[in-house]
Structure 1
Amino acid sequence: MKKSFSLYLLLLISVNLYSQNNSIAGKILADNEVLPYANIYLKKTKIGTSSNENGYYSLKNIPNGNYTLVISSIGFKTKTVKIKFSNNKKLFRNFTLKESNILDEVVISGTLKPVTKTASPVPVEVYSKTFFKKNPAPSIFESLQNVNGIRPQLNCNVCNTGDIHINGLEGPYTFVLIDGMPLVSGLSTVYGLTGIPQALIERVEVVKGPASTLYGSEAVGGIINIITKKPSSSPALTTDSYISSWGEVNTDLGLKYKLSQKSQGLLGINYFNFQNRIDNNNDGFTDLTLQNRISVFNKINIERKSNKVFTIAGRYVYEDRWGGEMDWQRKYRGGNVKYGESIYTNRWETFGTYQLPTSENINFQFSANGHYQDSFYGTDAYDAEQFIGFGQLVYNKQLKEKHDILLGVAYRYTFYDDNTFATLQEDGVTNKTSITHLPGIFLQDEIHLNKQNKLLIGARWDYNSLHGSIFSPRLNYKWNSKDKSNIFRFSIGNGFRVANIFTEDHAALTGARKVEFEGELQPETSWNTNLNYVKKINTENAFITFDASAFYTYFNNRILPDYETDTNKIIYANLNGHSVSKGISLNTDITYTNGLAINLGATLMDVSITENEIKTKQLLTESFSGVWSISYRFKNNLILDYTGNVYGPMRLPLLGEKDTRAENSPWYSIQNIQLTKKFTNSWEMYGGVKNLLNFTPAANSINNSLNPFDVGIDTEKNPELAFDPSYVYASNQGIRAFIGLRYTLF
């Protein structure tokens, strides 16, 4: 009897062990890319794991039964799947998570350290790589056209260079970073926004309003932080290439590789080419600048025994672009036979972060870039060389439970030389290279008053070797309801900027007008206040987010180009008065469970200049702008995207009262539609139409285009007859079709 019972017990244990040999394994994906560190578990059990750096997961020894498998990750919608296990079942299943606009994305731009978007006392807008795929573009400059409150502004009708406006403030007030490092500044404000391989962009963070307390000079209007992918979480290979009916060719390539067991790299290459001479408005000039550009980006992460961060990256950009008369040739470069604007650009960048091997959290961050430019604007040569080196130590310390301290010391070195009078000595003959030293120190205390209230106090002191001490304080307050469905933020802060006109304002380079400076330009300062309210509503069929802001910025010593005092000149001087930028903006995100997603945004603003008690509207600044993105995902992996923007009238620079061109731009809208078909997790095809309404500016935007060298014209007596390409607010590129193909190898 005892033997029989023992045999029965042994058999029962064997069967039970056999029944627990079920397993499931596979990869977690998001937007055709592997998703590392996602959570995978069986509901109401202790069986669970996380996907590794390659997105792979595995659950073993699962008893027989019916289960709910849950897959979740921050920033993505949680997925649940019903699964039955029995008889030693071994499953291999891949799961794809969809991005969610309502979860807490991790952001770094507002406080210089990783925090969830909801917890940040500074309002940060986050735009994922999926957002930019809805309207593919060859550069981040064009990609930002559908972000609320941001407008890519063309500054030249001929060479088509431009900058990015935030809430009506010109490009030099926008600080562009890559992975938190200040790379796109100075000369690259005009030329450095192209050639960033979009296949490597993970997300873009936008902060509107001064951020000089953390980022120093130039962060007056706001910051745009381009976050690139981590090598550990990137697919093995990504390619994205498209062509347009105008003849544009753009190709992005991303490749992950291993240098050793403890170091991984990510290589990105972007190539853009456009060589068609098109003149649809019949003004004798190219509607779109001809371009040939290649950019190479490389990022390396090195694993350390202490798990501390060590990453280093670099980028090289070469571009050859020209625009001008349709029959212009290279042999005419710099001459007065045919007018052309020809620009050769060589640019390199490097940046990185090294976490010191100490018990405290101390990071050393560094960046450097060199920019070399050989260009002609008609007969005017502009040769420039710029080098910027930057380094900072950042110490982060949690004191008790309420104080999160951030302390940093920074140093920035700027070398600039060109062939203009901006670098001449007083004798007007000897060249004087501009060298600026900018050491600084900043302190920030994020105070957790309680679970619903947070206060951030910060201050920065910089010493500019040319202008002396500059102090920048800021204060931020955040309140949220207990369920975090209501968030209120208030901020007030100071910004400053030391200007170099020739490196930041392309209008100063055009050969059409003479440039003059009135007195020595002093640093600009501004005070900004911002109110932000976020409301989240979750229903059975939709997730809704309302984000509303009111902003007010007051400038002293503002530097503005004066086109109107003398229409033959551009006069730069510190404003003898003040300037104000104020307005309100609203963003709405609605994500329906049936596959429909809607993003709407609108900004109403008033940007004015008051000098000698006379108030005028700022040139090239719209009073209203709106953006939208409407997407629908069909069940057969077909995605429809309809994106667009609309802008109100802008005051434009005229050549006096007799100028026949309109004083204000019209209302206009750029709209795009795209269809995307996903065939497998690797292959994806897309195509559509850009500028559906075929909007282009008036044909006479370039004044007197038939006589670009003003032959036989006294422009002093008759300024309205002068050649002038600075009257520009939108691209001359009309409607066009495009088709592209993406491939991803995991």
Structure 2
Amino acid sequence: MYQVRTIDSERIRLRGATNLQTILNTELGIRFSNDLTLGTSDIQLMGITGRGIKILLDGIPLTDRGDSRESLGQVDINTIEKIEIVEGPMSVIYGTDALAGVINIITKKAQDGSSITVNARLQEETAGDEYNALTKKGTHNQGVGVTWQNAYLQLSGNVTRNNFGGWQGASTGRAQAWKPKDQMLYTAGTRFTGKQWNVWYRFNGTDETITSLGNLNLLKEAGDQEYISKRWLHQVQSEWKVNEKLSLTAVGSYTDYSRRTLSTKIDSTGRRTLSLEPGSQDKSIFTTAFFRGTAFYKAGDHLSVLAGIDFSNNNASGARVNGTPTINEYALFVAPEIRFGQFFKLTPGLRFLKNSIYDAPPVIPSLNGKLILSKSLDFRFGYARGFRSPALRELYFDFHDASHSINGNVNLKAEYSNSFNSFLVWQAVSREELRINSTLGGFYNVFHDLIDTAIDPNDRTQTTYLNIHLFKTTGFSFDNKLFWKNLQATVGATYIGRYNEFSASPQDFGSLPEFVWSTEINANLLYTFKKAGASINLFYKFSGKRPIYETADQVNIHLAETEGFHMADLTFSKTLGQYVNLLGGIKNLFDVTNLQNTSTDTGGAHSTGGAVPMSFGRSYFLGLVFQWTKH
């Protein structure tokens, strides 16, 4: 029913990626923004920011502390089997934060039979022209994993270290434009499989430190900060096929996520002491308990029903959190699939929601359909009502440091939206050695009271969260895929419009275009030399200039633009014997670092004026991947 883009394990491997951002940054409709002070990134999908995108790990929502999607950078890339991107509103099935779509990260699972597998990875990469072997300057990735299984039981474990030494850029002295990051990722799991059921447990652990070095002041002292994140995610999932008509699933998780700020001062002799300035020592804790149960019943050839319940419990505490707030959310959803002959399927959906803080709508509806026009052509369409209550961080989290002054806003309203999308999918050629398919899509989203950061109208030195009266996105996408013998190729484009209405009386600002537009074009080419056991691969994307109307004083309107840019990676792969694969290449071929921006917003914590950081420039990498399996 839904239009799903899939990034498979082979494409992930060929990217030579050490984080998810590298994999996603050349996908259509996806853009990233970076906060160099905190070392974090945020994501946009089809013009909608990360707060409207649901990030899942094997169907489990990932918890984030702040505005940005920190969880995207805290998943072990070596454990991922594939990534699914579902465009369009999924609020009935997945609830809050699924207004723009869903990114589901799916990890590697058990294979058939009894076996033991050992895998290891070593990869070295420059940071621009900065590099030291195995440590300090550059990016260094080491990982090892073991999986043992028989017909009924699987045991697995992985340990990965990602070390980034930072990048000096235009900074001088001790300071670095991109902050050093040291990250340890741990996974452990077990899976029991029966005749008609299976159950598995998985632990994901993150221990991450981002270091911000300060320059010496007149007193020959420098102030340094370490941002220390710890994430412990426990997952339990089970599936039970009761009979040929009924199957049940249950998912439970508990996340304990903390981020600590450790501030110190170092003098000219190298003596280091704790900083005593207000807010310099801080720890914020966010915990989430989640349960989801679903039942799928096939009543006959023309009717099947998916129904489920969701429960989430979110808590926060810390010096920067006002009190110890808790938000509980309960939901019941049902989505029957009705088949009309062999050509038409329709899925109406309803979600009944109860939020402990906000009056949620009594019911959230959706409607999805698929019309098979011919053997090679089908048409899909969807509508969904969306609802998102403000998150704990937006209501109660205050964040103040040398570069940020962000206050939560307990007076926020909940968001709601109406979203429409459609896709025409054509399998132009489908033969054994040649496959060509094209997808033409369109979308239109209308958001009311969208929550975003803005300068506090009562204090221009502060940033807070405010509701945008009306926000719209619309656009088109055209994606083409070719599989011919040893060649895989994709070419696509999007044209996305965004509109912000500044107040309930937009006529006060004069005549403005309803939408401002931005273009994206991408192309991927993968060619395999089968006899040589080698491949060469190009991943390319052009992101056009991004315009947006803004006001800094609620009187004057200004069209600000972030310049367009080209991003491309060129990689090669070669097998060495039976167990080893060599991977190397060049990332960011066009040497993109900072983008120019014409915004006049230069006074707030989240100012958009000036240079917009995108990357630390062109880099070179070389890695070895080892995999040994005994059946």
| TM-score (normalised: structure 2) | 0.84
Residue 580 of structure 1, aligned match among 464, 472, 478? 472
Paired residues for 1:324-339 under 5 Å: 324-325=213-214, 338=222
Q: Structure 1 residue 288: deviation in Å?
A: 1.8
Q: Structure 1 residue 286: deviation in Å?
A: 1.3
Q: What residue number does 1:688 align with?
A: 585
Where does the alignment leave 5 or more consecutive residues of structure 1 unmatched? 1-120, 329-334, 425-431, 704-718
Q: Structure 1 residue 515: deviation in Å?
A: 3.1
The 3-state SS of whatever aligns with 1:527 is strand
The 3-state SS of whatever aligns with 1:134 is helix
2:234 and 2:110 map into 1 onto residues whose CA distance is 17
Q: Bigger CA drift: 190-199 or 366-375?
A: 190-199
1:568 aligns with 2:461: yes
User: For residue 449 of structure 1, what is the amino acid of its counterpart?
Assistant: F
1:218-251 C-alpha deviation (Å, 9 max, x unpaired): 1111110011111335970222221112321012
User: For residue 558 of structure 1, what is the amino acid of its counterpart?
Assistant: L
Q: Structure 1 residue 276: deviation in Å?
A: 4.7
The 3-state SS of whatever aligns with 1:445 is strand
Q: What residue number does 1:314 align with?
A: 203
2:106 and 2:380 map into 1 onto residues whose CA distance is 24
User: How much is the aligned-residue C-alpha RMSD, in angstroms?
Assistant: 3.5
Q: Structure 1 residue 656: deviation in Å?
A: 6.7
Q: Structure 1 residue 317: deviation in Å?
A: 0.4
CA 1:387–1:516 in structure 2 vs 1: closer, same or farther (change >3 Å)?
Answer: closer
1:279 aligns with 2:158: no
The 3-state SS of whatever aligns with 2:96 is coil
2:621 and 2:466 map into 1 onto residues whose CA distance is 44
| TM-score (normalised: structure 1) | 0.72
Q: Bigger CA drift: 688-697 or 136-145?
A: 136-145
User: For residue 630 of structure 1, what is the amino acid of its counterpart?
Assistant: L
1:439-462 C-alpha deviation (Å, 9 max, x unpaired): 111111011112111001111011
1:742 aligns with 2:625: yes
Paired residues for 1:195-206 under 5 Å: 195-206=74-85
1:606 aligns with 2:497: yes
Q: Structure 1 residue 199: deviation in Å?
A: 2.2
Residue 352 of structure 2, aligned match among 457, 461, 466? 461
The 3-state SS of whatever aligns with 2:562 is coil
Paired residues for 1:272-421 under 5 Å: 272-276=162-166, 278-280=168-170, 285-304=175-194, 306-325=195-214, 338=222, 340-355=224-239, 360-375=246-261, 380-381=279-280, 382-420=282-320
Contact residue 675 and residue 687 of structure 1 kept, 8 A: yes
The 3-state SS of whatever aligns with 1:192 is helix
1:450 aligns with 2:334: no
2:397 and 2:440 map into 1 onto residues whose CA distance is 33
1:560 and 1:203 map into 2 onto residues whose CA distance is 31
1:181-231 C-alpha deviation (Å, 9 max, x unpaired): 223455595322223222221111111122110111111111100111113
CA 1:681–1:498 in structure 2 vs 1: closer, same or farther (change >3 Å)?
Answer: farther
Over the matched positions of the two proteins, sequence identity in percent amounts to: 18
User: For residue 366 of structure 1, what is the amino acid of its counterpart?
Assistant: G
Q: What residue number does 1:523 align with?
A: 414
Rg larger for: 1
1:646 and 1:282 map into 2 onto residues whose CA distance is 31
Residue 626 of structure 1, aligned match among 508, 514, 521? 521
2:465 and 2:92 map into 1 onto residues whose CA distance is 27
1:393 and 1:413 map into 2 onto residues whose CA distance is 15
Q: What residue number does 2:572 align with?
A: 675
1:644 aligns with 2:556: no
Residue-pair matches, total? 587
1:217 and 1:473 map into 2 onto residues whose CA distance is 14
Where does the alignment leave 5 or more consecutive residues of structure 2 unmatched? 128-137, 264-276, 554-558
1:150 aligns with 2:30: yes
1:274 and 1:683 map into 2 onto residues whose CA distance is 25
Q: Structure 1 residue 567: deviation in Å?
A: 4.9
1:523 and 1:466 map into 2 onto residues whose CA distance is 10
1:581-640 C-alpha deviation (Å, 9 max, x unpaired): 1111111111122x2221122211111111231587999x97122222111112422211
The 3-state SS of whatever aligns with 1:451 is coil
Q: What residue number does 1:697 align with?
A: 594
Q: What residue number does 2:266 align with?
A: none
CA 1:552–1:194 in structure 2 vs 1: closer, same or farther (change >3 Å)?
Answer: same
Paired residues for 1:179-194 under 5 Å: 179-185=58-64, 187=66, 190-194=69-73
CA 1:336–1:537 in structure 2 vs 1: closer, same or farther (change >3 Å)?
Answer: farther
CA 1:504–1:197 in structure 2 vs 1: closer, same or farther (change >3 Å)?
Answer: farther
1:71-122 C-alpha deviation (Å, 9 max, x unpaired): xxxxxxxxxxxxxxxxxxxxxxxxxxxxxxxxxxxxxxxxxxxxxxxxxx11
User: For residue 367 of structure 2, what is the amino acid of its counterpart?
Assistant: L
2:514 and 2:259 map into 1 onto residues whose CA distance is 30
